[in-house]
Amino acid sequence: MTYLNHITEAIGNTPLVKLNKVTEGIKGTVLAKVEYANPGNSVKDRMAIKMVEDAEKAGLLKPGGTIIEGTSGNTGMGLALAAIAKGYKCIFTLADKQSKEKIDVLRAMGAEVVVCPTNVAPDHPDSYYSVAKRLNEEIPNSFYPNQYDNTSNTAAHYETTGPEIWDQTNGTITHWAAGVGTGGTISGTSKYLKEQNSNIVTVGIDTYGSVFKKYKETGEFDENEIYAYATEGIGEDILPKNVNFDTIDTFIKVTDKDGAVMTRRLAREEGLFVGWSSGSAVYGALEYAKEHLKEGDVMVVLLPDHGTRYLGKIYNDEWMRQQGYID
């Protein structure tokens, strides 16, 4: 018989799919790494299981413990799968801008969810960062993975995502593009790929309202860059330790609208029913590709999660009209 001992063993080995219609006029080949094929429907499954297993080895997570994490939803789902497999409880804090679907699915997986305000500073006591830290301090036998600064996040992608992409492209990849949030996905993957071929160009996709692009270009953390934005899962108003700017060659910023519209195009034109940050990643990658990709180049862009997380937003025509994203 061929079977898995638990659903977490299905994490990884996701497909690489050629983009055809949205890349019209682009030289070279653009391939999508479809991470919704993971069992938790997102790229975050990879680092969630890695953070849990590394914490167990270090004695930070003990039997009967509670995992407490601040998440935009997908990391929570990955941690919930790991917790179910290993017998832990979960409490997740989310900002109130996150989709209802993300909150509902975490509760469906047995997690307790605490919704926190979006428009407060990271160090404000009510921010989802601060609430997660406080709960960790108050609840005995609990573990706070802190995906932003936990280097197991980066290590997961160095060990899995990077080697998969290198093997799937037979070492022909010339450009690697991904959205930047916690930074683990882009940094860990880029580190591995650049060790195989130092000429590979890494393109980070950022959003307006986030600090990453200006920090990369000037070394300045400019608080004037920070303002509210709607896109979920990319951009930050902090500098996570997992964002290794040395492994990222350049940043492209994408508006909420451009990301949302591309997300809808990927579903209708490519059959890829993906989440909002996937649209942002593809839009930004193609903006870079229009100017820089040559015949024979191979760009891989990562699609982080699935469209079911955004049924009430991106895939709701009335919501899209209210935001001014479609006529």
Q: Which residues are catalytic?
A: 44
DSSP H or E run through 235: none
Spatial distance between the Cα atoms of 217 and 225, rounded to a whole number of angstroms: 13
Note the residue count of the chain: 327
Identify the residue whose tokens are 């009335």: 318
Q: How far is residue 302 from each of residues 24, 56, 65, 239, 273, measured CA to CA in Å?
A: 19, 29, 33, 21, 14
Dig out the tokens for 291 from the structure. Answer: 């100017």
Instruction: Centre a 10 Å sphere on the Cβ of residue 26 and count the other Cβ atoms it contains.
Output: 16
Q: What is the CA radius of gyration of the chain?
A: 19
Yes or no: say if 315 and 279 are a contact pair by the CB < 8 Å rule. Answer: no
Yes or no: say if 118 and 97 are a contact pair by the CB < 8 Å rule. Answer: yes
Instruction: Centre a 10 Å sphere on the Cβ of residue 11 and count the other Cβ atoms it contains.
Output: 24
Identify the residue whose tokens are 């025509």: 317
The pairing of strands 66-70 and 142-143 is parallel
Spatial distance between the Cα atoms of 109 and 32, rounded to a whole number of angstroms: 28
DSSP H or E run through 233: none
Residues near 43 by beta carbon (within 8 Å), at least 6 away in sequence:
35, 74, 161, 185, 302, 304, 305
